[in-house]
Structure 1
Amino acid sequence: MKYIYIIILMTIGLGSCDEKDELEKANEYYNSGDFKKAIQSYDEHLKMKPADEIALYNRGRAYEELGLYDKAIKDFLKVIEIAPTNIGAYLSYGKQFYREKDYDNAAFQFEKAYKLNTNSSQSATLLARAYHKSGEVEKAMEFYNIAINNDNENAEAYLYRGALKIHLNQSGGCNDIKLAENIGYKGARDLYKKYCN
């Protein structure tokens, strides 16, 4: 009886190692940019653990990288169902609306993510961008400011706040774009040359 118990424990342990190995392998494929192989490995892992929110989210991101947006959305929605506090899933789901130029629904999803963590500079930036695109410039400015207050190295927030200031004929726009350039945002130099020289 004692030996049977040990064999059962070893079998459970090996199963856990296989699950972990498959997930690690999937993550390695994802990080190397081999999204098709990553999806295959996530699929294998999810056969054993279908409610693994990390594997589901990462598979959704891999689908997204391949432009398979319908499949990505299904994974993001499943993550939200399983773990309604997963900020990444709301942001990724919101980005789909943003890609479709449905800025109101994008803002709705980004706002959910922001409310889950009001210190998130990324959530605030994406929310600002959605408001900016939908023409709600006061809200956009508010959230660009929040994004920068949450992370004073957020080049994207500086860049787009600067662009919005220039559009609104407010002072400080060129300074913001220069800060984005100094932080290393690609394209900031061209924008600075276009509007600030």
Structure 2
Amino acid sequence: MNQSDRDFIEKKRPKKQRDVHIKDYELVILHYQNLIKKGKNATDAYVNMGFIYLDKEDYEEALKCFLKILELEPQNPEAFNNVGYVYEKMNMFDFAKQSYEKALGLNTQDPEAVINIGHILELQGNYKEAVEQYLKAIEMNRQNDSARFCLAVLYDHQDMHEEAIDQYSEIIRLNPGHLKAMYNMGRLYFQLGNYSAALKQFQNVLKLDHDNADVWNSVGLIHEANNDYPAAIDSYRKSLALNPFHEDTNFNLANLQYLTYQDSPNQVKIADIMRRLQFVLSLNPRNQKVDKLLSKIQKKI
């Protein structure tokens, strides 16, 4: 699962994230600790502190908070889901799976726990059983786009293209505003060489989210594949206007400009291309494709 897909899924798990964007963490934590000492809303206080620690990536403290909830409420399925999520973030997958299974044992109709179990199985490379869990979650709630998205992404990454497209299509039918499903289906169509279908999906995303740098970059790739270089450059520039630090777009624009330079040296300044590539390397010195292109250009001049 690529980082974009993982980020999208994790935005939806766990369900109750409160106060995680507060900058003054210590002051807020002190507030909740005082509430606990006074015996007021201890469960909610531990939940909120747990998510603050998660946001800080302090998983040990987050785990302590969620385990405290289980001491107070041993039959709380959501608490088991949250404990499992922390274990998952700590890469302790067996413990995570056990916690999710306990959540499911307490609420046998909880699709979230089933999805979580499927996700662990997928992380462990047990794709067949992961698919079974995602399908089980879908049967529990056929309107559940989270389960379908996990299933679609699994199919996608296992090169089961038709199955992935079927699931992405069903997600969009159920939720016409599901931007990530549209984007992934567009990316998949592009991978399969169906540029017109890919462009249609990306355009649908842009109707709902016009300021999406990733999508403008993808549109640029389609124009470039169709040898429409001016349109590609225009799309890349739109992407960079939204996110000047977008590494892929900076590389794509520099690479296309270099192709143009080779055919028509007067249209593009080679120094501008090199500056763009050097800028990307200043952000990420490990970007190998950028380093390779820059070295290639330096050898030519």
Q: Same fold judged by TM-score > 0.5?
A: yes
| Matched AA of 2:96 | A
Equivalent position to 2:186, from 177, 183, 193: 193
Structure 1 counterpart of 2:154: 164
Rounded to whole Å, the distance in 2 between the matches of 1:91 and 1:193 is: 33
- Alpha-carbon distance, 1:169 to partner: 3.3
Equivalent position to 1:113, from 103, 112, 122: 103
Structure 1 counterpart of 2:90: 100
Output the aligned Cα RMSD.
Answer: 2.5
Identify if the C-alpha distance between structure 1 residues 170 and 195 changes in structure 2 by more than 3 Å, giving closer, same or farther: closer
The answer to whether the 8 Å contact 2:59/2:86 transfers is yes
Structure 1 position 82 matched with structure 2 position 72? yes
Structure 1 position 63 matched with structure 2 position 56? no
* Cα deviation code 1:118-164 (max 9, x no counterpart): 21111111111111111122221121012112222322211121233
What does 1:1-197 correspond to in 2, within 5 Å?
Answer: 30-31=18-19, 33-34=21-22, 36=25, 37-49=27-39, 52-166=42-156, 167=158, 169=160, 171-182=162-173, 183=175, 184-196=177-189, 197=194
Specify the structure having the higher radius of gyration (Cα): 2
Unaligned runs of 5+ in 2: 1-17, 195-301
List 4+ stretches of structure 1 deviating above 6 A. none
- Greater alpha carbon shift after TM alignment, 182-191 vs 91-100: 182-191
Could you say which structure has the greater relative contact order, defined with CA pairs below 8 angstroms and 6 or more residues apart? 1
The answer to whether the 8 Å contact 1:181/1:188 transfers is yes
| Matched AA of 1:177 | Y
The answer to whether the 8 Å contact 2:149/2:181 transfers is yes
Rounded to whole Å, the distance in 2 between the matches of 1:107 and 1:46 is: 29
The answer to whether the 8 Å contact 1:51/1:82 transfers is no
The answer to whether the 8 Å contact 2:75/2:106 transfers is yes
Unaligned runs of 5+ in 1: 1-29
TM-score of the superposed pair, with normalisation by structure 1: 0.73
TM-score of the superposed pair, with normalisation by structure 2: 0.50
